[in-house]
Amino acid sequence: MNSPGSRHARREIVATIAAEKATATAEPQLRDPLPSWLTDSTRAVPLSPAFRTQAFTTRIYAFLMSLIDGTRSIDDMAAQMETQKLMPKAEARASIRAFLTKMHEEGQAPPGR
């Protein structure tokens, strides 16, 4: 910026960027409204496959927690799982170890995390 009519001048660095839109963007997906059984407390809650799986998993976790008494080992708990026909002992052992590892880690985490 330098004017012949003024003795003052200044120099600036200007950067320009040019871009071209390569593809059209999709319209944002609107969420489905909540199902009626959530908004109307008198409607029955459907037993969906996801709820069925979660209920089964929760029952197994509750059963495992009930087996923790300070005397049973992971092998003892796996034998109980096999006795109850929930899963084979070898599979139960790995599942129990993973569950107890997660519970231990969560118990060690600082509060509020």
Q: What is the SS3 assignment for 47?
A: coil
* Residue 76, C-beta contacts closer than 8 angstroms, at least 6 positions apart: 67
The answer to whether 81 touches 87, Cβ cutoff 8 Å, is yes
- Mean pLDDT value across residues 78-106: 91
**Pair of tokens at residue 4:** 């012949």
Name the residue ranges covered by the structural domains of the chain. Answer: 70-108
pTM: 0.56
Could you give the CA distance from residue 91 to residue 64 in angstroms, rounded to a whole number? 14
pLDDT at position 27 = 74
Confidence of residue 1 (pLDDT cuts 50, 70, 90): low
Residue 74: closest CA among 84, 64, 83, 63 = 64
* Cα–Cα distance for residue pair 102/30, rounded to 1 Å: 35
